[in-house]
Structure 1
Protein backbone atom coordinates (compact mmCIF):
# COMPACT_ATOMS: atom_id res chain seq x y z
CA UNK A 1 0.00 0.00 0.00
CA UNK A 2 1.24 3.46 -0.94
CA UNK A 3 2.09 5.73 1.97
CA UNK A 4 0.77 9.16 0.96
CA UNK A 5 2.38 11.11 3.83
CA UNK A 6 5.68 11.74 1.97
CA UNK A 7 3.73 12.88 -1.11
CA UNK A 8 1.58 15.23 0.96
CA UNK A 9 4.62 16.58 2.79
CA UNK A 10 6.43 17.18 -0.50
CA UNK A 11 3.42 18.99 -1.96
CA UNK A 12 3.05 21.10 1.16
CA UNK A 13 6.71 22.03 0.98
CA UNK A 14 6.21 23.01 -2.66
CA UNK A 15 3.27 25.22 -1.73
CA UNK A 16 0.63 23.04 -3.42
CA UNK A 17 -2.68 21.98 -1.96
CA UNK A 18 -4.28 18.57 -2.12
CA UNK A 19 -6.68 20.01 -4.70
CA UNK A 20 -3.73 19.74 -7.09
CA UNK A 21 -3.94 15.95 -6.95
CA UNK A 22 -6.96 14.76 -8.92
CA UNK A 23 -5.60 11.19 -8.87
CA UNK A 24 -5.78 10.96 -5.07
CA UNK A 25 -9.55 10.55 -4.84
CA UNK A 26 -10.73 14.13 -5.44
CA UNK A 27 -14.19 14.51 -6.95
CA UNK A 28 -14.69 15.07 -10.67
CA UNK A 29 -15.48 18.80 -10.25
CA UNK A 30 -12.16 19.48 -8.52
CA UNK A 31 -10.30 17.46 -11.16
CA UNK A 32 -11.90 19.48 -13.98
CA UNK A 33 -11.14 22.77 -12.23
CA UNK A 34 -7.52 21.73 -11.82
CA UNK A 35 -7.41 21.08 -15.58
CA UNK A 36 -8.92 24.53 -16.19
CA UNK A 37 -6.23 26.13 -14.01
CA UNK A 38 -3.58 24.44 -16.18
CA UNK A 39 -5.37 25.65 -19.33
CA UNK A 40 -5.34 29.22 -17.97
CA UNK A 41 -1.55 29.18 -18.34
CA UNK A 42 -2.12 29.21 -22.12
CA UNK A 43 -4.54 32.17 -21.91
CA UNK A 44 -2.66 34.51 -19.61
CA UNK A 45 -0.68 37.43 -20.95
CA UNK A 46 2.79 36.71 -22.39
CA UNK A 47 5.52 37.03 -19.75
CA UNK A 48 3.25 35.93 -16.87
CA UNK A 49 3.68 32.73 -14.86
CA UNK A 50 1.40 30.83 -12.48
CA UNK A 51 2.16 31.95 -8.92
CA UNK A 52 -0.62 30.18 -6.99
CA UNK A 53 -4.08 28.70 -7.28
CA UNK A 54 -6.82 27.17 -5.18
CA UNK A 55 -10.17 25.38 -5.35
CA UNK A 56 -13.07 26.30 -3.05
CA UNK A 57 -16.61 25.02 -2.66
CA UNK A 58 -19.18 27.81 -2.34
CA UNK A 59 -22.92 27.73 -1.71
CA UNK A 60 -25.05 29.62 -4.20
CA UNK A 61 -25.08 33.26 -3.12
CA UNK A 62 -21.99 32.68 -0.95
CA UNK A 63 -18.77 34.68 -0.79
CA UNK A 64 -15.30 33.93 0.42
CA UNK A 65 -12.12 35.97 0.88
CA UNK A 66 -8.68 34.51 0.42
CA UNK A 67 -5.66 36.48 1.62
CA UNK A 68 -2.50 36.08 -0.44
CA UNK A 69 0.93 37.61 -0.81
CA UNK A 70 2.07 38.53 -4.32
CA UNK A 71 5.33 40.15 -5.44
CA UNK A 72 5.33 43.91 -4.74
CA UNK A 73 4.88 46.52 -7.47
CA UNK A 74 4.23 43.82 -10.06
CA UNK A 75 1.56 43.29 -12.72
CA UNK A 76 -0.82 40.55 -11.59
CA UNK A 77 -3.67 38.80 -13.40
CA UNK A 78 -6.16 36.67 -11.50
CA UNK A 79 -8.60 34.33 -13.25
CA UNK A 80 -11.61 32.70 -11.67
CA UNK A 81 -13.20 29.44 -12.82
CA UNK A 82 -16.31 27.53 -11.86
CA UNK A 83 -17.74 24.05 -12.42
CA UNK A 84 -20.41 23.22 -15.02
CA UNK A 85 -23.29 24.09 -12.65
CA UNK A 86 -22.05 27.67 -12.31
CA UNK A 87 -23.80 30.55 -14.07
CA UNK A 88 -22.28 33.70 -12.51
CA UNK A 89 -19.03 34.00 -10.53
CA UNK A 90 -17.66 37.43 -9.58
CA UNK A 91 -14.17 38.42 -8.43
CA UNK A 92 -12.93 41.45 -6.50
CA UNK A 93 -9.33 42.17 -5.50
CA UNK A 94 -8.48 44.31 -2.44
CA UNK A 95 -5.20 45.55 -1.00
CA UNK A 96 -4.19 44.94 2.63
CA UNK A 97 -6.09 48.07 3.75
CA UNK A 98 -9.30 46.96 2.01
CA UNK A 99 -9.08 49.30 -1.02
CA UNK A 100 -10.54 47.82 -4.21
CA UNK A 101 -7.76 47.23 -6.77
CA UNK A 102 -9.96 45.70 -9.48
CA UNK A 103 -13.07 43.65 -10.06
CA UNK A 104 -15.00 41.63 -12.62
CA UNK A 105 -18.73 41.60 -11.85
CA UNK A 106 -19.94 40.62 -15.34
CA UNK A 107 -22.71 38.02 -15.61
CA UNK A 108 -20.42 35.12 -16.52
CA UNK A 109 -18.56 32.31 -14.78
CA UNK A 110 -15.03 33.30 -15.81
CA UNK A 111 -13.91 36.53 -14.10
CA UNK A 112 -10.51 38.04 -14.89
CA UNK A 113 -8.92 40.94 -12.99
CA UNK A 114 -5.60 42.61 -13.86
CA UNK A 115 -3.87 45.10 -11.54
CA UNK A 116 -0.47 46.20 -10.25
CA UNK A 117 0.34 45.08 -6.72
CA UNK A 118 1.25 47.65 -4.11
CA UNK A 119 4.19 48.11 -1.73
CA UNK A 120 3.31 45.37 0.76
CA UNK A 121 2.13 42.77 -1.80
CA UNK A 122 -0.76 41.68 0.45
CA UNK A 123 -4.09 41.16 -1.34
CA UNK A 124 -7.49 39.68 -0.59
CA UNK A 125 -9.35 38.06 -3.39
CA UNK A 126 -13.11 37.84 -2.98
CA UNK A 127 -15.05 35.19 -4.89
CA UNK A 128 -18.82 35.70 -5.02
CA UNK A 129 -20.96 32.84 -6.37
CA UNK A 130 -23.89 34.89 -7.61
CA UNK A 131 -25.78 32.12 -9.44
CA UNK A 132 -25.42 28.34 -9.57
CA UNK A 133 -27.74 25.60 -10.90
CA UNK A 134 -27.02 23.53 -7.78
CA UNK A 135 -26.97 24.15 -4.03
CA UNK A 136 -23.21 24.73 -4.33
CA UNK A 137 -20.48 24.95 -6.96
CA UNK A 138 -16.76 24.34 -6.92
CA UNK A 139 -14.78 27.46 -7.82
CA UNK A 140 -11.10 28.06 -8.54
CA UNK A 141 -8.70 30.95 -8.80
CA UNK A 142 -5.37 31.24 -10.63
CA UNK A 143 -2.86 33.97 -9.78
CA UNK A 144 -0.41 34.93 -12.53
CA UNK A 145 2.43 37.41 -12.03
CA UNK A 146 4.62 39.15 -14.55
CA UNK A 147 8.28 38.24 -14.63
CA UNK A 148 10.39 35.15 -14.42
CA UNK A 149 9.90 32.32 -11.99
Structure 2
Protein backbone atom coordinates (compact mmCIF):
# COMPACT_ATOMS: atom_id res chain seq x y z
CA UNK A 1 0.00 0.00 0.00
CA UNK A 2 1.02 3.56 -0.60
CA UNK A 3 1.84 5.86 2.33
CA UNK A 4 -1.26 8.07 2.58
CA UNK A 5 0.54 10.85 4.45
CA UNK A 6 3.12 11.22 1.68
CA UNK A 7 0.42 11.05 -1.00
CA UNK A 8 -1.78 13.57 0.81
CA UNK A 9 1.14 16.01 1.13
CA UNK A 10 2.10 15.51 -2.52
CA UNK A 11 -1.48 16.00 -3.68
CA UNK A 12 -1.84 19.11 -1.54
CA UNK A 13 1.27 20.60 -3.16
CA UNK A 14 0.00 19.76 -6.63
CA UNK A 15 -3.45 21.13 -5.90
CA UNK A 16 -2.07 24.37 -4.49
CA UNK A 17 0.08 24.80 -7.61
CA UNK A 18 -3.10 24.59 -9.70
CA UNK A 19 -4.78 27.58 -8.08
CA UNK A 20 -3.93 29.78 -11.05
CA UNK A 21 -4.03 27.09 -13.74
CA UNK A 22 -6.87 27.47 -16.25
CA UNK A 23 -9.47 24.74 -16.51
CA UNK A 24 -9.20 22.32 -19.44
CA UNK A 25 -12.34 23.85 -20.91
CA UNK A 26 -14.81 21.00 -20.41
CA UNK A 27 -15.99 22.10 -16.98
CA UNK A 28 -19.36 23.78 -16.70
CA UNK A 29 -18.06 26.14 -14.00
CA UNK A 30 -14.69 27.39 -12.73
CA UNK A 31 -15.15 25.48 -9.46
CA UNK A 32 -15.84 22.25 -11.32
CA UNK A 33 -12.69 22.96 -13.32
CA UNK A 34 -10.71 23.26 -10.07
CA UNK A 35 -11.77 19.74 -9.11
CA UNK A 36 -11.09 18.32 -12.57
CA UNK A 37 -7.61 19.88 -12.58
CA UNK A 38 -6.88 18.35 -9.17
CA UNK A 39 -7.97 14.93 -10.45
CA UNK A 40 -5.67 15.28 -13.47
CA UNK A 41 -2.77 16.20 -11.17
CA UNK A 42 -3.57 13.23 -8.90
CA UNK A 43 -3.54 10.87 -11.88
CA UNK A 44 -0.11 12.17 -12.91
CA UNK A 45 1.24 11.94 -9.36
CA UNK A 46 -0.06 8.41 -8.80
CA UNK A 47 1.03 7.21 -12.26
CA UNK A 48 4.61 7.99 -11.17
CA UNK A 49 4.01 5.53 -8.31
CA UNK A 50 2.69 2.80 -10.65
CA UNK A 51 -1.00 3.46 -9.96
CA UNK A 52 -3.29 3.71 -12.99
CA UNK A 53 -6.90 4.94 -13.22
CA UNK A 54 -9.34 2.02 -13.18
CA UNK A 55 -12.66 3.83 -13.38
CA UNK A 56 -13.92 7.08 -14.79
CA UNK A 57 -13.57 9.85 -12.16
CA UNK A 58 -16.75 10.90 -10.39
CA UNK A 59 -17.41 14.67 -10.30
CA UNK A 60 -20.54 16.04 -8.66
CA UNK A 61 -21.84 18.72 -6.25
CA UNK A 62 -22.95 18.51 -2.65
CA UNK A 63 -24.43 20.98 -0.21
CA UNK A 64 -23.06 21.34 3.31
CA UNK A 65 -23.68 18.22 5.44
CA UNK A 66 -24.91 16.25 2.41
CA UNK A 67 -23.68 12.76 1.51
CA UNK A 68 -23.42 11.21 -1.95
CA UNK A 69 -22.87 7.51 -2.66
CA UNK A 70 -22.00 5.38 -5.66
CA UNK A 71 -20.89 1.79 -6.25
CA UNK A 72 -17.73 0.40 -7.80
CA UNK A 73 -16.81 -3.06 -9.03
CA UNK A 74 -13.36 -3.87 -7.64
CA UNK A 75 -11.17 -6.86 -8.52
CA UNK A 76 -9.57 -9.23 -6.02
CA UNK A 77 -5.86 -8.75 -5.41
CA UNK A 78 -5.52 -5.27 -6.89
CA UNK A 79 -4.34 -2.50 -4.55
CA UNK A 80 -6.79 0.39 -4.92
CA UNK A 81 -6.31 3.97 -3.80
CA UNK A 82 -9.25 6.38 -3.95
CA UNK A 83 -8.53 10.08 -3.67
CA UNK A 84 -11.03 12.89 -3.37
CA UNK A 85 -10.87 16.63 -3.83
CA UNK A 86 -13.25 19.53 -3.48
CA UNK A 87 -13.31 23.06 -4.86
CA UNK A 88 -11.95 26.13 -3.10
CA UNK A 89 -15.29 26.89 -1.41
CA UNK A 90 -14.99 23.59 0.44
CA UNK A 91 -13.07 23.39 3.70
CA UNK A 92 -13.54 19.69 4.46
CA UNK A 93 -14.59 16.56 2.57
CA UNK A 94 -14.91 13.00 3.88
CA UNK A 95 -14.49 9.74 1.98
CA UNK A 96 -15.53 6.22 2.98
CA UNK A 97 -15.41 2.80 1.34
CA UNK A 98 -17.82 -0.01 2.31
CA UNK A 99 -18.12 -3.64 1.26
CA UNK A 100 -21.29 -5.25 -0.13
CA UNK A 101 -22.45 -5.99 3.45
CA UNK A 102 -22.20 -2.32 4.41
CA UNK A 103 -19.14 -2.90 6.59
CA UNK A 104 -16.52 -0.15 6.66
CA UNK A 105 -13.41 -1.06 4.65
CA UNK A 106 -11.60 2.27 5.03
CA UNK A 107 -12.54 5.88 5.67
CA UNK A 108 -10.90 9.27 5.95
CA UNK A 109 -12.80 11.85 7.94
CA UNK A 110 -9.79 13.89 9.00
CA UNK A 111 -10.32 17.60 8.51
CA UNK A 112 -9.10 18.65 5.08
CA UNK A 113 -9.62 18.70 1.34
CA UNK A 114 -7.69 15.57 0.30
CA UNK A 115 -9.12 12.36 1.79
CA UNK A 116 -7.63 9.02 0.70
CA UNK A 117 -8.94 5.47 1.23
CA UNK A 118 -7.28 2.20 0.26
CA UNK A 119 -8.20 -1.45 -0.16
CA UNK A 120 -6.84 -4.66 -1.63
CA UNK A 121 -10.01 -6.78 -1.90
CA UNK A 122 -9.73 -10.50 -1.14
CA UNK A 123 -12.65 -11.12 -3.46
CA UNK A 124 -14.02 -9.28 -6.47
CA UNK A 125 -17.31 -7.49 -5.97
CA UNK A 126 -19.27 -4.32 -5.45
CA UNK A 127 -18.12 -1.67 -3.02
CA UNK A 128 -19.90 1.52 -2.01
CA UNK A 129 -18.13 4.86 -1.89
CA UNK A 130 -19.62 7.61 0.29
CA UNK A 131 -18.58 11.24 0.00
CA UNK A 132 -19.54 13.72 2.71
CA UNK A 133 -19.36 17.51 2.62
CA UNK A 134 -19.24 18.71 6.25
CA UNK A 135 -17.93 22.21 5.47
CA UNK A 136 -18.83 24.17 2.35
CA UNK A 137 -18.93 27.98 2.51
CA UNK A 138 -21.08 28.18 -0.64
CA UNK A 139 -24.60 26.83 -1.22
CA UNK A 140 -22.91 23.77 -2.74
CA UNK A 141 -19.40 22.59 -3.51
CA UNK A 142 -17.98 20.42 -6.27
CA UNK A 143 -16.10 17.27 -5.40
CA UNK A 144 -14.28 14.63 -7.39
CA UNK A 145 -13.18 11.07 -6.68
CA UNK A 146 -10.40 9.33 -8.60
CA UNK A 147 -10.03 5.54 -8.46
CA UNK A 148 -6.56 4.08 -9.06
CA UNK A 149 -4.96 0.64 -8.72
CA UNK A 150 -1.75 -1.28 -9.25
TM-score (normalised: structure 1): 0.78
User: Which one has the bigger strand percentage?
Assistant: 1
CA-CA distance at 1:31 after TM superposition: 1.7
CA-CA distance at 1:22 after TM superposition: 5.3
User: Superposition pairs for residues 125-136 of structure 1, below 5 Å?
Assistant: 125-136=129-140
Q: Indicate yes or no: 2:113 matched with 1:104.
A: no
Pick the aligned partner of 1:85 from 82, 89, 93: 89
Gaps of 5+ in 1: 1-20
CA-CA distance at 1:32 after TM superposition: 1.9
Pick the aligned partner of 1:48 from 32, 47, 51: 51
Q: Which residue of 1 aligns with 2:98?
A: 94
Q: Which residue of 2 aligns with 1:23?
A: 25
Gaps of 5+ in 2: 1-22
Q: Which residue of 2 aligns with 1:7?
A: none
Judge conservation of contact 2:72–2:127 (CA < 8 Å) in 1: yes
Aligned-pair Cα RMSD in Å: 1.8
Encode CA deviations 1:33-88: one digit per residue, 9 max, x unaligned. 11111100233272210112110100100001111112222110000000000011
Of 21-30 and 109-118, more deviation after overlay is shown by 21-30
Q: Which has the larger radius of gyration?
A: 1
Q: Which residue of 2 aligns with 1:35?
A: 37
Structure 1 residues 76 and 25: alpha-carbon distance in aligned structure 2, compared to 1, 3 A threshold = closer
Q: Which residue of 1 aligns with 2:119?
A: 115
